[in-house]
Structure 1
Amino acid sequence: MDCLVNSGHRPKIMVTNDDGIDAPGLRALVQVLVSTNLYEVLVCAPDSEKSAVSHSITWIHALAVKRVEIEGATAYAVSGTPADSASLGISTTLFPSIPDLVISGINMGSNCGYHIVYSGTVAGAREAFLNGIPSVSVSYNWVAGKSNVHDFKLAAEACLPMISAVLAEIKKQRYPERCFVNIDLPTDVVNHKGYKLTKQGKSVVKMGWRQVTSNTQGRRVLSTMTMDTNPEVCTEMDASPISGEHLLFKREVRGAPVLEDDTDYQCLLEGYITVTPLGALSPADIDCQAYFKTLVPGVLESSSSSAL
């Protein structure tokens, strides 16, 4: 990859997300990056909210792309997913050259533990990583009643030292190619305790299901952004007709967080900006490898014996 960060030009940073191109987190990040006058800022993000779509991609249908005015940046809204947006943005089909760094965020809500698997924000960074582009996903631990939209600017400013450090390492050709970085910022971001290297924890909460009785009750969806920034506004999905033969179930959160020392969510709650290196896939624990090392060789022999 021919990174312009090595040629004396301003580094190119491409921003994407899963909350949509109009989300306050993305807009704050772009504003802060532009205000430094150190980077050429590109934006390629979904045209609407695509939270929790994980690493889904659009395969059959064409993507619709529209130019969007964002001061100081070259920006496009994409009809697809975060992974679609990241892929298109780094392809040189939309922009004339490959970005030096992709940043996905700033997400409204933390992305820790197993929730990283569901996250469209993390997927935007992972897609860049899969294509050999250094990338970072960024999330802010929004809490209703405590957080406000201005916190996104504070979060973006708090990320600048890490962004600068990553670009410096890329310029020196020392940045690792086998991982990307997931950053979570604490709720009280102005009083954060600094950066802390962490590892991915387990699931923060468990998901459950509750049976409901009406179409409206079962299909109402509140985005994190809509719910927390404007409590009086409820966004409801377009409800397709459901016959009386169907059972309706609504997802709900159950259980307590899983807290472990030196993991992302635990350190985030302690007030640190967590920095968690991630790979494309999570390898199985060593004890699981040992278990299957014993099991697999005897499977065919056992199957042949039982057939006799």
Structure 2
Amino acid sequence: MEDAERPTILITNDDGIDAPGLRALVQVLVSANRFNVQVCAPDRERSAASHSITWLHPIEAKPVNIDGASAYAVAGTPADCASLGISKALFPTVADLVLSGINMGSNCGYHVVYSGTVAGAREAFFNDIPSISISYDWVRGKSNVNDFSLAAQACLPIISAVLVEIKNQRYPQRFFLNVDLPANVADHKGYRLTKQGKSFFKMGWKLVTSETQGERMSSTMTMDVDTAVPTETNTSSVSPEHLLFRREGKGPHLDDGDTDHKYLQEGYITVTPLAALSQAEADCHAYLKDWLSSIHELPSSSAL
């Protein structure tokens, strides 16, 4: 039963309700004994689902036993889960704060466009609920599941501070926060306010046979060359007349300097305010203003 005196936190993610990042975040919040914890997360991995939503058919929600929390696994996207979780259709109260994560892999730069983790927080923002997306820069061969607990503990001061601002009605509604924690989270350098950069890990496509079709990226948003691991997802045969492709890393990770990805790699916990809209740069408007006014002077398409 929820304590009316405690703030309520809704947790979602894109790695699925059984993901270690989500479970670590829930455990840390429950152990703090200061919050009502709700969980509404996808019933399976939905990495890189971006902000897709289920529109044409109902989605199923099943209760899941998670100690200290009211939890449901939902057959939908992260955006679906956030929307359902704050709708009062599933839980009797609307959360004061939505947390999406902890994602297995960083979400910086252009990767926030693909990220289902960021979309979960953005959906709450659309509905005027303060939110934070949280990602851990998982490095295969170095990171382990205990790092998710360290990451959750490192975020607890931010979460608590945001809730204080919400309680005192001082928290702005013009943004949501995207938090990324460095691989060496145990020795992080502290919080760093950053801006979203344009970093991007270039991907390509490779023609594969049915024997290798199960290979994929261990975490879609990590996007490091060394994260590709074999995972058996589908071993059914493919018809000879069908072509089968999978993504592969082309690298390198392109960065643009003084932004979220740079400071994350330097060991900081990056805190980046985001909003729903991505505005084009000012010089684009100047160019398009002249271009648009000249369109009527161009010859018709039949004359080209």
TM-score (norm. length: structure 1): 0.90
Matched, 1:62 2:62: no
- Residue in 2 aligned with 1:247? 243
Matched, 1:286 2:282: yes
**What does 1:244-283 align with in structure 2 at a 5 Å threshold?**
244-283=240-279
Post-superposition offset of 1:307: 5.8
- 1:143-177: per-residue Cα shift (whole Å, max 9, x none)? 11111111100000000111111111112222121
- 1:193-222: per-residue Cα shift (whole Å, max 9, x none)? 00001111113310111222x123245335
Q: Distance in 1 between matches of 2:301 and 2:270?
A: 53
- Closer/same/farther in 2, CA of residues 152 and 12 from structure 1, 3 Å limit: same
Aligned pairs, number: 296
- Larger CA deviation: 60-69 vs 258-267: 258-267
- Larger CA deviation: 189-198 vs 294-303: 294-303
Q: Determine which of 283, 291, 296 is the counterpart of 1:300.
A: 296
- Residue in 2 aligned with 1:46? 42
- 1:32-56: per-residue Cα shift (whole Å, max 9, x none)? 0111111100000001111111111
- Residue in 1 aligned with 2:192? 196
- 1:70-95: per-residue Cα shift (whole Å, max 9, x none)? 11110000011101100100000000
Q: Secondary structure at the match of 1:44?
A: strand
Contact between 2:182 and 2:264, CA under 8 Å: does it hold in 1? Answer: yes
- Closer/same/farther in 2, CA of residues 299 and 23 from structure 1, 3 Å limit: same
Q: Distance in 2 between matches of 1:99 and 1:149?
A: 27
Q: Distance in 2 between matches of 1:175 and 1:253?
A: 40
Q: Distance in 1 between matches of 2:138 and 2:74?
A: 25
Please report the RMSD computed on the Cα atoms of aligned residues, expressed in angstroms: 2.3
- Closer/same/farther in 2, CA of residues 303 and 182 from structure 1, 3 Å limit: farther
Q: Secondary structure at the match of 2:152?
A: helix
- Residue in 2 aligned with 1:228? none
- 1:218-266: per-residue Cα shift (whole Å, max 9, x none)? 45335439xxxxx997232364x64333332221111212233331111
Q: Secondary structure at the match of 1:255?
A: strand
Percent sequence identity is: 63
Q: Distance in 2 between matches of 1:207 and 1:222?
A: 11
**What does 1:201-212 align with in structure 2 at a 5 Å threshold?**
201-212=197-208
Q: Distance in 1 between matches of 2:201 and 2:218?
A: 18
Determine which structure has the larger strand proportion and give its number. 2
- Larger CA deviation: 57-66 vs 251-260: 251-260
Can you give the 5+ residue segments of structure 1 that lack an aligned partner in the other structure? 226-230
AA aligned to 1:217 is T
Matched, 1:183 2:179: yes
Q: Distance in 2 between matches of 1:223 and 1:68?
A: 25
Q: Secondary structure at the match of 2:159?
A: helix
Q: Secondary structure at the match of 2:153?
A: helix
Q: Secondary structure at the match of 1:205?
A: strand
TM-score (norm. length: structure 2): 0.91
Q: Distance in 2 between matches of 1:209 and 1:244?
A: 19
Q: Distance in 2 between matches of 1:58 and 1:81?
A: 7
Q: Determine which of 79, 82, 88 is the counterpart of 2:84.
A: 88
Q: Determine which of 111, 118, 129 is the counterpart of 1:115.
A: 111
Contact between 2:210 and 2:235, CA under 8 Å: does it hold in 1? Answer: no
- Closer/same/farther in 2, CA of residues 303 and 83 from structure 1, 3 Å limit: farther
- Closer/same/farther in 2, CA of residues 174 and 146 from structure 1, 3 Å limit: same
Q: Determine which of 225, 229, 233 is the counterpart of 1:236.
A: 233
Can you give the 5+ residue segments of structure 2 that lack an aligned partner in the other structure? 221-227
